[in-house]
Amino acid sequence: MTLPQALFFDMDGVIIDTEKDGHRVAFNKAFTEFGFDVFWDADYYGELIKVAGGKERMRHHLDIKGFGKDIDPTTVDELIVNLHKRKTDIFIDLIESGSLKLRPGIHRLMKEANDNDVPICICTTATQKAAEAVTSLSLPDISFSHILAGDIVEKKKPAPDIYLLGLEKTGKEASKCFIIEDSRNGMLAGRRAGINVAVTTSIYTSGENFDEANLAVSCLGDDDGEKGTLISGSVPGYEGVLTLSMLAALIL
């Protein structure tokens, strides 16, 4: 059986369930430090993450709800950048503290890819600094071919740009690769790039429509830990643990 030519992983919600207890917490702390009366609760953040990109989420909130005080329009761009920079530093502190754990099956599948010389590429809207912190601190024994993050492309998911760049960097054939995503926006980005997509749903995306994915599971699963459940699609031999050979079987 021919294995996938490359695996492309989203980060937030896929590698670590970072949104609710990571990024959301960091955004709120940054708002407080900057003197803004802004608090994103878990339900509201679930709506905000439909907007791709942290800076874009803050700008969206500012446009519809404000930051609780008047802001000079000429300073908004700089403010958003500075807020996001501080938020990223707080998020990295959370990663370094060890309070955010890998999702089931992530290390196992990545190790399987490394052992079979299948390149792994991270493709995320998170900042480069955050992506490098997650990969180096949470996955120190895993080799990555590329870490593509932040504003490296003009259009963020559901636009296919980040995955098209991944294909360009790895030199692989779209139809022979696989993406691991957790959201509909990410799935759409992958499919628009012509790449196969396996979805591992997160706390905020479990109710989204993933009919266009090759398959969707609740998590990738571990033999000696939490097992996943099949949400949509099918794969021969699946019993709660999604393997590299199972992904290969889905490539036409």
- Which positions are annotated as active-site residues? 10, 12
Question: Which structure tokens are listed for 81?
Answer: 């950048």
The one-letter code for the residue type at 182 is: D
- Provide the 3-class DSSP secondary structure of residue 191: helix
Q: Any idea what the Cα angle at residue 158 is, between residues 238 and 56, rounded to 5°?
A: 125
Side-chain-facing half-sphere of 201: CA atoms under 13 Å: 19
Length of the chain: 252
SS3 label, residue 41: coil
Task: In whole angstroms, give the CA distance from residue 218 to residue 84.
Answer: 30
Cβ-contact 200, 220 below 8 angstroms: yes
Give the distance, in angstroms, between the CA of residue 147 and the centroid of all CA atoms in the same chain. 12
Partner residues linked to 147 by β-bridges: 122
What is the spatial distance between Cα 160 and Cα 191, in angstroms, rounded to a whole number? 8
Starting at the edge strand found earlier in the chain, the sheet holding 178-181 runs 146-148, 120-123, 7-9, 178-181, 196-200, 215-217, 230-232
